[in-house]
Amino acid sequence: MSGFAIDEHSTDTVSDDIDVIEQDGEDETEEVDVPRGEASGPKRSSARNARTGSRARQPITRAGAARAIAKYVQLTEAREDLVAILAVSLGAPEDDLASLAATVVAGKGTPAISLVTDLADAAGRSPHEATVHAMQLSREDARQAWALLVAAGVVTGPIPAKDGAAAVALAQAVEQIGDDERAAFDQVSELAGR
């Protein structure tokens, strides 16, 4: 599993008796117990760093590393089309499974899938309702929903440039979602679980 790079400086922020994973120069991992008060470097709170304005780094715990590795393995064994849909729904690169696994474990969720299934439900009730619902989406949400439909093979090409045309096209596209696409979205939602 050479795709995972675990920060060798993760012990800098350890403040309690936590097991952390450290990577040595030979791409092997080892567990290191760091007693309280013996972590290298200054202790930082989870608040923003006053000097740099950035958030303090959190240590990688054994449980967190295990979840990320398990998710990576699950993604390597998943169907390619589901991984592609998941990557699009999270805005993560599809060809970097380590990064995709980290994004999933970080718990971003799959809001694009919710957008598309909500639109499809509205289209099932009334095509006009789906259009109204699509018009209420932000431009970014509409683009994400369209990208997800492209990844699922429901539509091809770019979303129309004008907001009104984009909403109509999106509403018409979700009417084309069949049982296979709904099943794929359900499987992707499960794959996105932490």
pLDDT digits (tens, 9 = 90+) for 102-149: 888 887 677 788 888 888 888 888 889 999 999 999 999 999 999 999
Q: For residues 2 and 149, which has the higher predicted lDDT (pLDDT)?
A: 149
Statement to judge: residues 69 and 102 lie in one domain: yes
* pLDDT surpassing 80 at residue 54: no
- Residue 157 phi/psi, 5° resolution? 80, 175
> Does residue 20 sit within a domain?
no
Find where tokens 């091809």 sit: 156
Q: Give the number of domains in the chain.
A: 2
> Does residue 123 sit within a domain?
yes
The pLDDT value recorded for residue 106 is 85
Between CA 156 and CA 100 the distance in angstroms is 24
Which residues sit opposite 4 in a β-bridge?
Answer: none
Statement to judge: residues 118 and 176 lie in one domain: yes
Judge contact between 56 and 13, C-beta under 8 A: yes
Listed in sequence order, the residues at least 6 apart from 2 whose beta carbon sits closer than 8 Å to its beta carbon are 27
Listed in sequence order, the residues at least 6 apart from 164 whose beta carbon sits closer than 8 Å to its beta carbon are 135
Statement to judge: residues 78 and 136 lie in one domain: no
Q: Which of 71, 106, 141 is the last residue of a domain?
A: 106
Q: For residues 79 and 193, which has the higher predicted lDDT (pLDDT)?
A: 79
Statement to judge: residues 167 and 127 lie in one domain: yes
What CA–CA distances, in Å, run from 141 to 42, 111, 115, 166, 190?
A: 41, 9, 8, 11, 21
The pLDDT value recorded for residue 11 is 40
Statement to judge: residues 126 and 98 lie in one domain: no
Instruction: Read off the pLDDT of each residue in 61-83 and give the average, rounded to a whole number.
Output: 91
Instruction: Read off the pLDDT of each residue in 4-16 and give the average, rounded to a whole number.
Output: 41
> Does residue 89 sit within a domain?
yes
Statement to judge: residues 165 and 179 lie in one domain: yes
Average pLDDT, the chain: 76
Percent of the chain at pLDDT > 90 equals 37
